[in-house]
Amino acid sequence: MSTSKEVYLVDGTRTPFLKVRGKRGPFTPVDLAVQCGRPLLARQPFAADAFDMVILGCVNVIADEMNPARVAALRLGMGDAMVSFTVQINCGSGMQSIDTAFRTIREGSADMILAGGAEALSHAPLVLRDDAVDWLGGMQAASGPLATARNAFQIRPRHLKPVVGLERGLTDPITDLSMGQTAELLAHHFGITRTMADTYAVESHKRLAAAQQDGTLDHEVMPAFDRDGKAYRMDDGVRPQSTVEKLGELSPVFEKPYGQVTAGNASQVTDGASWCILASAEAVEKHKLTPIARLLDSEWAALDPSVMGLGPVMSATPLLTRHGFGNADIDLWEINEAFAAQVLACLAAWQDDRFCQEVLGLEDSFGTISREKLNIHGGAISLGHPVGTSGNRIVLHLANALKKNGVKRGVATECIGGGQGGAMILEAV
Selection from 319, 249, 279, 257 nearest residue 105 by Cα: 279
Cβ neighbors of 11 (< 8 A, separation 6 or more) are 40, 43, 44, 276, 277, 289, 292
The three-class DSSP label of residue 426 is strand
Task: Please work out, in degrees rounded to the nearest 5, the angle formed at the alpha carbon of residue 273 by the alpha carbons of 270 and 275.
Answer: 155
Q: Which one of 58, 91, 276, 346 is the catalytic residue?
A: 91
Task: Specify burial of residue 411 (Cβ count, 10 A radius: 0-12, 13-18, 19+).
Answer: buried
CA torsion 138-139-143-145 (nearest 10°) is: 140
Residue 220 phi, psi dihedral angles, 5° rounding = -95, -40
Selection from 276, 281, 278, 288 nearest residue 45 by Cα: 288
Task: Please work out, in degrees rounded to the nearest 5, the angle formed at the alpha carbon of residue 125 by the alpha carbons of 122 and 130.
Answer: 150
Cβ of 414: how many Cβ atoms within 10 Å?
Answer: 30
Q: Which one of 123, 205, 377, 385 is the catalytic residue?
A: 385
Query: Any catalytic annotation for residue 159?
Result: no
Query: Any catalytic annotation for residue 415?
Result: yes
Query: Any catalytic annotation for residue 397?
Result: no
Cβ of 23: how many Cβ atoms within 10 Å?
Answer: 6
Using CA atoms, how far apart are residues 92 and 87, in angstroms rounded to an integer?
9
Cβ neighbors of 245 (< 8 A, separation 6 or more) are none
Q: Provide the annotated active-site residues.
A: 91, 385, 415
